[in-house]
Amino acid sequence: MSTDLLQQIRLHGHLPRHVAIIMDGNGRWARERGRPREFGHKAGMSAVREAVAGATEAGVEVLTLFAFSQENWHRPRGEVSALMALLELYVRREQRELREKGVEVHAIGDLSRLGPRTRRALEGIVEHTAGGTRMRLNLAVSYGARGEIVRAAQRLAERVRAGTLSPGEIDEALFASELYTADVPDPDLLIRTSGEHRISNFMLWQLAYTELHITPVLWPDFGREHLFQAIRDFQRRERRFGRVAAT
């Protein structure tokens, strides 16, 4: 079925350039099986692999995965440690294949909060995949949209204080240039798994006109077919960005 969906996507031709995913449901998936949350997080790694592979097959230019939020730091220490270990394992296992596939990896978020080993692992995959031209993969780690917006405001305020920028020069484009995603288009499509209808402090600025696709599928069960279904859903929509066609 995924092959048929991919053919439909290619026939339609109108692709989302940037797809963002809130990967939700690992804990619920594990609980349904009587296992600890860490078991669900580990199972979710295969879904990450499926999403990346499916996005490259479909021709998506940018894929952003919400891997670890600033709020996640408040989870139990053991779970945070397990998540960091899984992140390190993912980048070690996947960096060679991602490079071969032409996927360039970027890490976005407040990386200063990460431990030295995790930071080195992320820096390693970013360096190893630099120059990939097929797709950009953003890993949002220690990321929070409110923090990102405050950071952008602070950076602009510093320029005003230094006398290199006047307040009247600040517009939407200049503000966006100070965000983590300054060099990529805003997401066209946001996918959230597990059926939850919220955006959880994720890309608040960038999602202004993003199409939303909510699926009840828990993240460890999310496969290429589900990604393709979301893209087909996007292709059927009319995007007006607040405008209407002339009559």
Nearest-angstrom CA–CA distance, 177 and 152: 8
Q: How far is CA 186 from the centre of its chain?
A: 11
Q: Is 110 a catalytic residue?
A: no
> What is the DSSP-derived secondary structure letter of residue 74?
G
Q: Which residues contact 76 (CB under 8 A, 6 or more apart)?
A: none
Neighbours of 170 (CB within 10 A): 16
> What is the DSSP-derived secondary structure letter of residue 205?
T
CA angle 58, 144, 92 (to 5 degrees): 55
- For residues 156 and 124, the answer to whether their CB atoms sit within 8 Å is no
Nearest-angstrom CA–CA distance, 41 and 59: 27
For 10, the token pair is 């290619």
Q: Is 72 a catalytic residue?
A: yes
Helices 2-12 and 37-58, axial angle in degrees (round to 10): 40
CA angle 45, 47, 49 (to 5 degrees): 75
Q: Which residue in the list 4, 24, 138, 171 is annotated as catalytic? A: 24
Q: Which residue in the list 4, 26, 72, 233 is annotated as catalytic? A: 72
- For residues 219 and 65, the answer to whether their CB atoms sit within 8 Å is no
Q: What amino acid positions are annotated as catalytic residues?
A: 24, 72
